[in-house]
Amino acid sequence: MRVLAIESSCDESAVAVLDERRGLLAHVLHSQIDLHRVYGGVVPELASRDHVRRLVPLVRAALGEAGSSAQDIGGIAYTAGPGLIGALLTGAALARSLAYAWQVPAVNVHHLEGHLLAPLLEPEPPPFPHVALLVSGGHTMLVDVRGIGDYRVLGETRDDAAGEAFDKTAKLLGLPYPGGPELARLAEHGRAGAYDFPRPMLDRPGLEFSFSGLKTAVSLVVKAPGFDAARRADVARGVEDAIVATLVAKALRALEATQLDTLVVAGGVGANRSLRSALTAAAARRGARVYYPRIEFCTDNAAMIAVAGLARLKAGEHADLAIAARAQWPLDSLTTSDPERPLHES
Ligand code: KG4
Ligand code: ZN
């Protein structure tokens, strides 16, 4: 089975071709960062319009890169949610149309399941069951991953996501959108301990997160009269250290709670080098191992949607012709790949 996958949930238009036997044959992506930068964040309407412009040429490019023709494609996978509804609908409409024209099944993929399964593209994939720390711009959660489609959310954020905390504090520091990677770069020049920002919820039991207080704390520092701009790097370092310490502590707590020794890190913030090294070191100290997708598959891409879609298509899942998309879609409502049962809640 060879699957063509489409991702359009936010500000990345992406297409990939994955072959069951030969692996990933192509993945192409157009980032809309330049389009949204002047607004300091993603403008949903502009995102949808740009997906419409980009997706068809990306499908052609991916097929070309894969050396594949439409006849070789046995199924289409597309991100059906959660995400920006207009953006999702552009990918959904294209995916359903291609499936209809090519007379192959199409399958709805949950964006976060894509992130969770991205490490399966690596030469040494993580074993099941494992704990996943899913940290993106929209979500921060710890998930007990029993198998493909079998997810139990152990804890999530009560307010901002980790990526949002990076982005919002970066904005306060005057860094361009998207702030996460910019803040991480600035933090490399900052001194550890110069600012001691709150490590939210660390003092409390449980696996929930809360990052909104960090934004307030940073705002008080940088907006104080006489704040010296030369100390921005120290602030960035303080922010990164606070977020990383919180994520590491809670991830270890989740391993403890589940008695598992495999941790998977997924989502855009998983690209953060300081988080990666802190997690690897902390996990090693307790005899656990951490698996990451390669950096380019931490942030949004279609290769991860292809992995999730292929698993579901192989299990016999496919949806009817309706162009379906959901802005909200709880991860634990997904079910395992059992062909006798509908895989998704309607
Ligand atoms: O998974 P993703 O590409 O999109 C969502 O599904 O949200 O995650 C994007 C988030 C943004 O908040 C971005 O600032 C953050 O991931 N991010 C980073 C880094 N690279 C991306 N945050 C910190 N350090 C990074 N190196
Ligand atoms: Zn994402």
User: Has residue 340 been placed in a domain?
Assistant: no
Burial of 74 (0-12, 13-18, 19+ CB in 10 A): middle
When divided into structural domains, the chain yields a total of 2
The residue behind tokens 């399941």 is: 113
Query: Is 225 within the bounds of a domain?
Result: yes
Domain finish residue from 292, 324, 341:
292
Taking only Cα atoms into account, the Rg of the chain, rounded to an integer number of angstroms, comes to: 20
Q: pLDDT band for 335, please (50, 70, 90 cuts).
A: confident
β-pair type (140-147, 150-156):
antiparallel
Angle in degrees, CA 54, 55, 57, rounded to 5: 75
Same domain flag for 108 and 133: no
Considering the domain boundaries, does residue 164 fall inside one?
Answer: yes
Q: Which of 269, 276, 304 to mutate to test the pocket of ligand 1 (most atoms within 8 A of CB)?
A: 269
Binning pLDDT at 50, 70 and 90, where does residue 202 land?
A: confident
- Do 283 and 191 share a structural domain? yes
Q: How confident is the model at residue 339 (pLDDT cuts 50, 70, 90)?
A: very low
How remote is the CA of residue 312 from the centroid of ligand 1, in Å? 26
Closest atom of ligand 1 relative to the 271 alpha carbon: 26
Across 36-48, average pLDDT: 93
64 plus 166 within the same structural domain:
no
282 & 247 share domain = yes
Smallest CA separation from ligand 1 atom 21, residue: 268
The rounded Å distance from CA 95 to ligand 1 centre is: 26
Look up the CATH number of the domain holding residue 113. 3.30.420.40
pLDDT > 80? residue 250? yes
pLDDT digits (tens, 9 = 90+) for 78-87: 999 999 999 9
- For range 245-274, the mean pLDDT: 96
Task: Label residue 337 by pLDDT band (50, 70, 90).
Answer: low
342 falls within a domain: no
pLDDT digits (tens, 9 = 90+) for 203-234: 788 999 999 999 999 999 999 999 998 999 99
Mutate to test the pocket of ligand 1, among 139, 160, 166 (most ligand atoms within 8 A of CB): 166
Mean residue pLDDT across the chain: 94
One domain for residues 159 and 288: yes
Q: What is the predicted pLDDT for the residue at 140?
A: 97
- Please tell me the number of Cα atoms within 13 Å of 179 on its side-chain side: 22
CB distance 138 to ligand 1 below 6 Å: yes
Mean pLDDT computed over 295-310: 97
Report percent pLDDT > 70 for the chain.
Answer: 97
**108 in the same domain as 53:** yes
Tell me which of 194 and 324 has the higher pLDDT: 194
- 196 in any annotated domain: yes
Does residue 149 sit within a domain? Answer: yes
16 in a domain, yes or no? Answer: yes
123: pLDDT strictly greater than 60: yes
Q: Are residues 36 and 111 in the same domain?
A: yes
CA-CA distance, 142 to 331, in Å (whole number)? 11
Query: Burial level of 31, CB count in 10 A (0-12/13-18/19+)?
Result: middle
Q: At what angle do helices 162-172 and 179-187 cross, to 10 degrees?
A: 70
Residue 336 — pLDDT band, cuts 50, 70, 90? low
CA distance 249 to 209: 11
Crossing angle of helices 232-258/212-222, nearest 10°?
160
The pLDDT score that the predictor gives to residue 128 is 96
Domain holding 37, by residue range, is 2-117+300-333
- Rounded CA separation 26/303 (Å): 8
Is the predicted pLDDT of residue 341 greater than 70, yes or no? no
How far is ligand 2, taken at its centre, from the CA of residue 179, in Å?
A: 15
Name the DSSP letter for residue 165: H
| pLDDT reading at 271 higher than 60 | yes
Q: Is the model's pLDDT at 313 over the cut of 50?
A: yes
Atom of ligand 1 nearest to the CA of 83: 6
